[in-house]
Homo-oligomer: A and B are copies of this chain.
Amino acid sequence: MRILIVEDTPDVAEAASASLGRAGFACDIAATLADARACIDITGYAAIVLDLNLPDGSGRDFLRERRRAGDLIPVLVLTAQFSVEDRVGALDEGADDYLVKPFDLRELEARLRALIRREAGRAENRIALAGLDFDAGAQSLRVNGAAVTATRRELALLNLLIANRGRIMPKDRLFDGLFGFENADVGTNTIELYVARLRKKLAGSGVSIETHRGLGYRLDLDG
């Protein structure tokens, strides 16, 4: 799950990025609308966290622009405390949710998760597939009833694969989801490595990660 944070205050952006990172999201930070556009052109995001006051324009314009272009990516807007006008306006222009600054990082995380969930058409954070039971909120994983420990990266990968289960995920998509730009120099072999590690932990669960040579990986039920 890759998130774009459009926010020009470094402290806020980095705090959010760190918090969301810990929650298994890969975050990119854009300090201007121009940066944001560049990021969006380069890669896809599961959601955007958008501050309204930016050095090169209003986030509301950006939002309107994206919606006019037919982009339905979930957008969570950050507004100042007393600008009711901005809040309402942003919602009118297609924002999916807003958060008043200063905000609680956990709430940001929870709301983002809710947005992404809604977007994916799912009702729950918890998913059971055959012998696999994964709860994104508690970051807990069970295989055939037994708790299995997994690391942050493994959970992030599993999250991605589950969210797109049945579909073949290109390796670079997985890579984008696991690492933001700041880790862009990581070798692509890493994905293969984590797939291997995940497979070991999912062994016997009834779901497996299939390799599709030259195309990517797909998580699905066995058989």
Contact = CB atoms under 8 A, between A and B. Distances in A.
Interface of A: 19, 22-23, 37-38, 41-44, 81, 100-107, 137-140, 147, 149, 151-152, 155, 166-168, 170, 172-173, 176, 212-216, 218, 220
A103 B170 contact: no
A19 B147 CA distance: 38
Nearest to A135: B167
A99 to B, nearest CB: 8
A213 B41 contact: no
Contacts of A101: 41
A67 to B, nearest CB: 18
A19 to B, nearest CB: 7
A122 B103 CA distance: 29
A107 B104 CA distance: 30
B42 A104 contact: yes
Contacts of A137: 167
A30 to B, nearest CB: 14
Given A22-B214, A214-B152, A41 B166 contact: no
Contacts of A105: 172
A44 B170 contact: no
A102 B42 contact: yes
